[in-house]
């Protein structure tokens, strides 16, 4: 029982255990009462320290809501008193929250239902909130919550989230000032909420007038929430906001996490209080004199005219409208709810025997007046406090009242209580009926007929959850609104009867008003002599009454006649066979559908049935989930299906050839489609997907791939649209789908506590399916700009930049020093990892067909100089990659033969294989048949290094027939589980088994990796002293460790790269960083200190060795910058997300310039727009401002701009398009001293002549084209 105290011990909460102390309970101390009244019972209210009336919240001011049927299951349905599978509609607050008077009555009702609880009212921050708060305070509210526009689960309507509510600061300031002005501030506690997270937020709320703050988002994050923004779908993957028992097992939060966070916030508050000179928190409340608007607000045109005078006016300076001249700034006087002498106090005394030992109690002819409101609330509280939800046996306490009752008669009446009223009842009779019995009939001396008179007011049985009601008369409007369990018999109702009803039974023995059963989703209603014109047929069906229904109705009408002496009931019973035929059954459509699905649902297996686990031994239950099904369901796919990425061929089989390691599958088979659709069904479509944007911990996609979007499209079978969305952000998915280590999967939400979505496999499946369907075709640009761009290097960065610039219409040429294109893709990655013919050469041919020119065996710095390229082209991009390998030159024995660099080893091997495959080997070696460059048959190989390149070297050595292969790493073996220093969504530093490791283990019986190994020296071979014979190493981080000798006929150095080599820039003109990479700002890519303004650098040569996907991202982004440089604007999308640029989130210090921010008033003056507004991942850059005319003239006269210089050189280059590239001597001459600046008069004269010539030429053309008369 959630309300019962627990014993000391340990409590399992999901995947964690909590320490429980004697007397702890799982009940929530704060209970909310909204317009829906779902599950608001006497027990619910009695077990609260605070009851909050939710009039509105930040994003839902005065709106209702809806809980879809698929979420109404299990505990939710039980707690909310609803039928599983039937949706719950929360009505707008029109019933007992319509006015201040109604709210005051509701406050009284709740205070009677729990006299010990504090009654709170939640309001939304808006203009005029102060008046509403004052009215609610006069209505005896103990507490006010001013809710800001921020925060919440996001379950409201999008228009409300975006456009409703105001910041809590405005609402709190107005509320505090108005309460002080009316002399009410000392009666009520003011609280605020809305994304309050830090100590500064808490102090700010206090200074504006709030004693308390409500915090939700930050505490939830402290307990494990990841802000997936899918709370309303019941699919929370970390078990925070879900009722799914399996998902709740994933909850790992600990109370200590929250306690630590709150302690840190409190410490922050104390430090700020000390700086302000305040000893107590109450000294802060309302001290707006300590606040000042930030000075930098005057610098921005949007905020320059804001006036905070009234917002920050101290409340004590306002002329109070109350009698007292000085009022308190915080709550210090409790509200007087006037409960000392209410009628319930007598009832509690008279019912004492029943409360003590459940004895029968009968109270007769107790006088009641219409000023006696909320009668029965305190008595029900005492019953519930003692006996819980079960209450007393039926009829234990029977009280007969005489007279007109006030509002809320029988308020939250508990089981075992029967209230009989001879008279008439006001509004809200039976509000929240919780198991008691209500009987109402006319006074005996009344001359009118009961079934013709209104004996009950509006909104009778509002939110009733259990019990019975018999009314021998007509009830007014909104009878049984939101009834969710009570049984009622009434002799007529007004308009809107049974509105929003979800459960229970209503029998109407008379007429019904208009709009009956509006929003009714559950329960049953039986109408006598139905008038169909008065029904709202949108959600209900009409059925005749069956035999079972007839018997049940007869029993209810008999009870009604016995308890109320109703003449109408006796008349109907006199000829029941005819009467039963006059009834019509009102059956809600959703309710009927839910009942039918319950009957047809298959019988669930018992919890004790452990047969699947027994058959599979100790295998985890999750492993038993299917990984491929026909027509998978996406809503719970992440929970129902297991991960299965693209499978490898058997380890031993794939070491016999150089084919790709992936198992081939036909893309036309239904099995393949089912597999990939099942895997995409595991994608949760997160509200804030962490997979498709990079983070500072190495996780997330650097390209910004729209992963949830194309996952959804593949699941729906929309393959072509999925391909389009994939190609929007990724030029070469076939490369990333095979070689990328998938940082996106590391940031996948599912990766927190289980296997992530198979994103990489899906990406490869989409692009290969597109190729198989013929959807991938060359698309040359429709229009050419005649601008020339030269790209040095044909790796992933260079190819991506080339394709993007070619799409923009530029003439693109790629220079590659190797004999084939692709760079790293061709020779750096072995063919078993990336097929050369099927993938790389196929893509290169597509690029050629699109108009990109490739020039192989051309090395910049030897065959052509950088100066020549920059002169002959409008832009030049350096994309050479990081080609300078780390070496061990200082290590003894490094000079020995057969100690090679990894790239030399891989390049030679791949080149030999490609020559043999293409038939070029006999041409290149026509003199004699030559053996492969590395004959490792039976040799022992040692690979030094722990990265991907080292893994590829291991796999290559195995395929060349090595007898044994060892891989040395200076690091220790990584842990099996994600360590604390790389938390989600970072790249996890965990133990991984790559394809080469499993191959070596299959062949040689052990994993090839040796950890914590430091190479001391290389030992020559005994047979040939010029060759290496062994590697002598020792254990790292150990003093005096013994030396170990590892025999080796080949040593491969795979220790990474230090930047680009010096061949491309032999004179050292380009600036380099501390890692020897070309220096160029991220997002700008202009080579620093270069003599040419049109030289750019991107990819690994700029940032250092990285991933293929990162290189593609930089190539795309650099292309956009180059296009903007050449054309003045660009339509190419940026590929550098703002999240990858932390400098843009750092606020400038006071007085400092803001170089990274673009002010709106400056943006209007920009000559060109550097970033497309339509592309949301655009990068904010420094704007180009219009200079004053005099300064512009002076600047142009002082020196020609780099832009005009490039244009001039470009014209010269186009004048001699077919001329061969000049040599190095010509480059030296071209890079000589600049020409002297031309005088002003010459510049202006030339410009004037040019304008005159254009005008004259236009006139001549017009005359020639004019028709002759």
Position 533 pLDDT exceeds 70 = yes
Position 1180 pLDDT exceeds 60 = no
Beta bridge partners of 1095: 876
Of the candidates 536, 585, 499, 521, the one whose C-alpha atom is nearest the C-alpha of residue 86 is 521
Cα dist from 11 to 14, 16, 18, 53, whole Å: 10, 9, 5, 32
Q: In this predicted model, what pLDDT tens digit does every residue of 920-936 receive, in sequence order?
A: 654 454 433 444 578 89
Question: What whole-number distance in Å separates Cα of residue 592 and Cα of residue 614?
Answer: 40
Residue 754: per-residue pLDDT: 87
Question: What H or E segment, with its residue span, contains residue 222?
Answer: helix 217-222
- Other C-beta atoms within 10 Å of 666: how many? 8
Q: Are strands 524-528 and 583-588 parallel, antiparallel or unpaired?
A: antiparallel
Which DSSP symbol is given to 330?
Answer: S
The pLDDT-based confidence of 651 (bands split at 50, 70, 90) is: very high
Position 1154 pLDDT exceeds 60 = no
> What are the backbone dihedrals phi and psi of residue 966, each rounded to the nearest 5 degrees, phi first?
-120, 145
The token pair at 655 is 């070491």
Position 1220 pLDDT exceeds 60 = no
- Coil, strand or helix at 101: helix
Position 1205 pLDDT exceeds 70 = no
Question: What whole-number distance in Å separates Cα of residue 230 and Cα of residue 686?
Answer: 7
Q: Which of 70-84, 173-187, 624-638 bottoms out in mean pLDDT, i.e. has the lowest? A: 70-84
- Residue 285 makes CB contacts below 8 A (sequence gap 6+) with 206, 207, 209, 210, 211, 329, 330
- Coil, strand or helix at 486: strand
Of the candidates 146, 416, 1069, 999, the one whose C-alpha atom is nearest the C-alpha of residue 657 is 999
| Residue keyed to tokens 């069956």 | 546
**What is the DSSP annotation of 337-390?**
---TT-HHHHHHHHTHHHHHH---EEEEEEE--TT--STTHHHHHHHHHHHGGG
Count Cβ atoms within 10 A of the Cβ of residue 1048 and give its class: 0-12 exposed, 13-18 middle, 19 or more buried: buried
Query: Could you tell me which residue, 1078 or 1190, shows the higher pLDDT?
Result: 1078
Residue 1261: per-residue pLDDT: 52
Give the pTM. Answer: 0.76
Beta bridge partners of 877: 791, 1096
Cα 575 off chain centre by: 64
Beta strand residue intervals within 742-878, DSSP E: 788-792, 811-815, 853-855, 875-878
> What are the backbone dihedrals phi and psi of residue 1004, each rounded to the nearest 5 degrees, phi first?
-110, -5
- Other C-beta atoms within 10 Å of 687: how many? 15
What mean pLDDT comes out for the span 354-371?
94
Position 1266 pLDDT exceeds 70 = no
Q: Which of 12-21, 85-94, 271-280, 998-1007 bottoms out in mean pLDDT, i.e. has the lowest? A: 85-94
Q: Are strands 540-544 and 583-588 parallel, antiparallel or unpaired?
A: antiparallel
Q: In this predicted model, what pLDDT tens digit does every residue of 426-478 receive, in sequence order?
A: 999 999 999 999 999 999 888 888 889 999 999 999 999 999 999 999 999 99
Position 1134 pLDDT exceeds 90 = no
Q: In this predicted model, what pLDDT tens digit does every residue of 587-611 receive, in sequence order?
A: 999 999 888 888 776 544 433 333 3
What mean pLDDT comes out for the span 1071-1098?
93
| Residue keyed to tokens 């309710």 | 591
Sign of CA dihedral 738, 744, 745, 746: positive
Residue 1166: per-residue pLDDT: 35
Residue 16: per-residue pLDDT: 86
Question: What whole-number distance in Å separates Cα of residue 1023 and Cα of residue 898?
Answer: 14
Question: What whole-number distance in Å separates Cα of residue 781 and Cα of residue 309?
Answer: 59
- Coil, strand or helix at 64: coil
Residue 820: per-residue pLDDT: 93
- Residue 985 makes CB contacts below 8 A (sequence gap 6+) with 690, 691, 695, 697, 699, 700, 746, 747, 748, 751
What mean pLDDT comes out for the span 491-501?
95
Residue 1137: per-residue pLDDT: 57
- Residue 344 makes CB contacts below 8 A (sequence gap 6+) with 112, 374, 375, 376, 377, 378, 379
The pLDDT-based confidence of 64 (bands split at 50, 70, 90) is: low
Position 1099 pLDDT exceeds 60 = yes
Position 967 pLDDT exceeds 90 = yes
Residue 1214: per-residue pLDDT: 39
What mean pLDDT comes out for the span 195-205?
94
Q: In this predicted model, what pLDDT tens digit does every residue of 698-756 receive, in sequence order?
A: 899 999 999 999 999 999 999 999 999 999 999 999 999 999 999 999 999 998 888 99
Q: Report the length, in residues, of the chain.
A: 1269
Query: Is 616 within 8 Å of 624 (Cβ atoms)?
Result: yes
> What are the backbone dihedrals phi and psi of residue 1037, each rounded to the nearest 5 degrees, phi first?
60, 25
The pLDDT-based confidence of 1232 (bands split at 50, 70, 90) is: very low
> What percentage of the chain has pLDDT greater than the value 70?
84
**What is the DSSP annotation of 659-719?**
S-SBPP--TTSHHHHHHHHHHHHT----SS-STTS--TTS-S-TT---HHHHHHHHHTT-H
Question: What whole-number distance in Å separates Cα of residue 327 and Cα of residue 133?
Answer: 17
The pLDDT-based confidence of 1191 (bands split at 50, 70, 90) is: very low
Position 539 pLDDT exceeds 70 = yes
> What are the backbone dihedrals phi and psi of residue 209, each rounded to the nearest 5 degrees, phi first?
130, 10
């Amino acid at each position: 029982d959630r309300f019962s105290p627990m014993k000391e011990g340990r409590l399992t909460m999901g995947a964690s255990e909590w320490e429980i102390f004697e007397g702890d309970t799982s009940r929530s101390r704060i209970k909310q009462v909204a317009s829906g009244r779902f599950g608001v019972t006497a027990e619910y209210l009695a077990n609260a320290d605070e009851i909050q009336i939710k009039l509105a919240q930040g994003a839902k001011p005065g709106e209702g809501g809806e809980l879809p049927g698929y979420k109404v299951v299990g505990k939710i349905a039980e707690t909310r008193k609803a039928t599983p599978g039937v949706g719950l509609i929360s009505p707008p607050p029109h019933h007992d929250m319509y006015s201040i008077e109604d709210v005051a009555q509701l406050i009284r009702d709740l205070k009677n239902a729990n006299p010990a609880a504090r009654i709170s009212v939640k309001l939304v921050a808006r203009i005029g909130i102060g008046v509403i708060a004052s009215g609610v305070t006069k209505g005896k509210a103990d507490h006010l919550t001013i809710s800001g526009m921020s925060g919440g689960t996001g379950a409201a309507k999008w228009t409300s989230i975006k456009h409703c509510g105001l910041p809590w600061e405005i609402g709190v300031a107005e509320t505090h000032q108005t309460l002080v002005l009316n002399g009410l501030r000392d009666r009520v506690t003011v609280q605020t909420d809305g994304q309050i997270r830090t100590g500064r937020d808490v102090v700010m709320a206090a200074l504006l007038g709030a004693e308390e703050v409500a915090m939700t988002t930050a505490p939830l994050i402290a307990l494990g929430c990841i802000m997936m923004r899918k709370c309303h779908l019941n699919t929370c993957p970390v078990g925070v906001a879900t009722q799914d028992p399996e998902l709740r097992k994933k909850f790992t939060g600990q109370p200590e996490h929250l306690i630590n966070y709150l302690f840190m916030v409190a410490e922050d508050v104390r430090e700020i209080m000390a700086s302000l000179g305040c000893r107590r928190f109450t000294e802060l409340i309302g001290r707006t004199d300590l606040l000042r608007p930030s000075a930098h607000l005057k610098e921005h045109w949007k905020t320059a005219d804001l006036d905070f005078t009234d917002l920050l006016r101290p409340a004590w300076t306002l002329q109070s409208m109350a009698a007292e001249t000085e009022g308190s700034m915080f709550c210090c006087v409790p509200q007087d709810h006037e409960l000392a002498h209410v009628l319930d106090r007598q009832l509690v005394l008279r019912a004492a025997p029943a409360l003590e030992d459940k004895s029968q109690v009968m109270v007769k002819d107790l006088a009641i007046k219409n000023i006696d409101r909320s009668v029965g609330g305190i008595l029900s509280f005492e019953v519930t406090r003692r006996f819980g939800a079960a209450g007393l046996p039926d009829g234990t306490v029977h009280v007969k009242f005489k007279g007109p009752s006030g509002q809320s008669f029988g308020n939250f009446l508990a089981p075992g209580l029967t209230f009989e009223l001879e008279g008439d009842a006001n509004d809200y009779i039976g509000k929240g009926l919780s198991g008691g019995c209500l009987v109402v009939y006319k006074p005996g001396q009344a001359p009118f007929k009961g079934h013709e008179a209104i004996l009950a007011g509006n909104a009778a049985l509002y939110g009733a959850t259990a019990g019975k009601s018999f009314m021998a008369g007509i009830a007014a409007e909104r009878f049984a609104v939101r009834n969710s369990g009570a049984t009622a018999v009434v002799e007529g109702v007004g308009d809107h009867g049974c509105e929003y009803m979800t459960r229970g039974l209503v029998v109407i023995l008379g007429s019904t008003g208009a709009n009956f059963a509006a929003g009714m989703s559950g329960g049953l209603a039986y109408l006598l002599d139905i008038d169909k014109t008065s029904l709202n047929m949108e959600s209900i069906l009409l059925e005749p009454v069956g035999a079972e229904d007839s018997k049940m109705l007869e029993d209810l009408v008999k009870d009604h006649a016995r308890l109320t002496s109703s003449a109408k009931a006796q008349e109907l019973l006199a000829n029941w066979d005819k009467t039963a035929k006059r009834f019509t059954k009102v059956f809600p459509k959703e309710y009927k559908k839910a009942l039918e699905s319950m009957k047809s649902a298959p019988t669930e297996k018992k919890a004790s049935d452990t047969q699947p686990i027994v058959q599979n031994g100790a295998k985890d239950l999750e492993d038993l989930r299917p990984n491929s099904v026909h027509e998978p369901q996406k809503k719970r796919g992440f929970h129902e299906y297991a991960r299965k990425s693209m499978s490898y061929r058997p380890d031993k089989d794939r070491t016999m050839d150089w084919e790709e390691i992936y198992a081939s599958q036909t893309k036309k088979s239904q099995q393949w489609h089912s597999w990939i659709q099942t895997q995409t069904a595991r994608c949760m479509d997160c509200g804030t997907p962490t997979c498709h944007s990079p983070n500072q911990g190495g996780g997330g996609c650097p390209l910004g791939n729209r992963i949830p979007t194309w996952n959804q499209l593949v699941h729906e079978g929309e393959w072509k649209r999925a391909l389009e969305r994939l190609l929007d952000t990724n030029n070469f998915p076939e490369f990333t789908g095979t070689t990328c280590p998938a940082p996106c999967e590391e940031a996948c939400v599912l990766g927190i506590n289980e296997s992530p979505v198979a994103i990489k496999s899906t990406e490869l499946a989409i692009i290969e399916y597109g190729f198989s369907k013929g959807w991938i075709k060359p698309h040359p640009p429709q229009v050419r700009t005649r601008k020339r761009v030269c790209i040095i290097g044909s790796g992933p960065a260079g190819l991506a930049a080339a394709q993007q610039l070619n799409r923009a219409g530029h003439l693109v040429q790629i220079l590659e020093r190797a004999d084939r294109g692709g760079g790293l893709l061709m020779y750096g990655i072995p063919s078993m990892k990336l097929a050369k013919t099927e993938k790389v050469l196929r893509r290169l041919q597509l690029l050629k067909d699109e108009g990109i020119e490739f020039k192989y065996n051309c090395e910049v710095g030897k065959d052509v100089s950088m100066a020549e390229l920059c002169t002959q082209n409008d832009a030049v991009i350096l994309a050479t990659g990081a080609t300078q390998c780390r070496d061990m030159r200082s290590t003894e024995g490094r000079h020995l033969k057969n100690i090679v660099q990894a790239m030399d080893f891989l390049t030679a091997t791949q080149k030999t294989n490609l020559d043999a495959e293409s038939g070029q080997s006999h041409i290149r070696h026509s003199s004699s048949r030559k053996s492969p460059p590395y004959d490792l048959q039976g040799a022992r190989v040692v690979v030094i290094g722990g990265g991907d390149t080292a893994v590829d070297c291991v796999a290559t050595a195995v395929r060349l027939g090595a007898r044994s292969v060892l891989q040395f790493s200076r690091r220790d073996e990584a842990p099996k589980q994600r360590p604390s220093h790389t938390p989600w969504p970072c790249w996890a530093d965990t133990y991984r088994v790559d394809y080469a490791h499993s191959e070596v283990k299959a062949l040689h019986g052990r994993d090839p990796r040796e950890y914590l190994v430091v190479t001391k020296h290389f030992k020559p071979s005994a047979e040939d002293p010029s060759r290496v014979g062994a590697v002598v190493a020792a254990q790292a981080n150990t003093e005096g460790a013994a030396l170990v000798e590892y025999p080796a006929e080949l040593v491969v150095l795979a220790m990474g790269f230090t930047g680009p080599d010096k061949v491309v820039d032999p004179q050292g003109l380009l600036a380099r960083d501390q890692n020897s990479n070309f220096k160029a700002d991220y997002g700008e890519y202009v080579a620093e200190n270069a003599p040419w303004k049109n030289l750019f650098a991107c990819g690994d040569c700029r940032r250092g060795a990285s991933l293929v996907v990162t290189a593609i991202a930089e190539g795309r982004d650099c292309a956009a910058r180059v296009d903007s440089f050449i054309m003045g604007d660009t339509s190419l999308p940026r590929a550098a997300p703002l999240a990858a640029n932390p400098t843009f989130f750092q606020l400038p210090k006071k007085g400092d310039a803001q170089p990274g921010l673009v002010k709106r008033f400056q943006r209007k003056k920009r000559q060109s727009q550097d970033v497309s507004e339509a592309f949301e991942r655009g990068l904010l850059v420094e704007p180009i401002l219009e200079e004053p005319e005099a300064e512009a003239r002076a600047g142009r006269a002082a020196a020609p701009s780099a832009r005009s210089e490039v244009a001039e050189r470009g014209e010269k280059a186009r004048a001699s398009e077919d001329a061969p590239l000049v040599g190095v001597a010509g480059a030296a001459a071209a890079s000589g001293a600049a020409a002297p600046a031309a005088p002003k008069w010459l510049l202006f004269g030339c410009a004037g002549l040019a304008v005159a010539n254009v005008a004259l030429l236009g006139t001549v053309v017009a005359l020639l084209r004019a028709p002759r008369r």
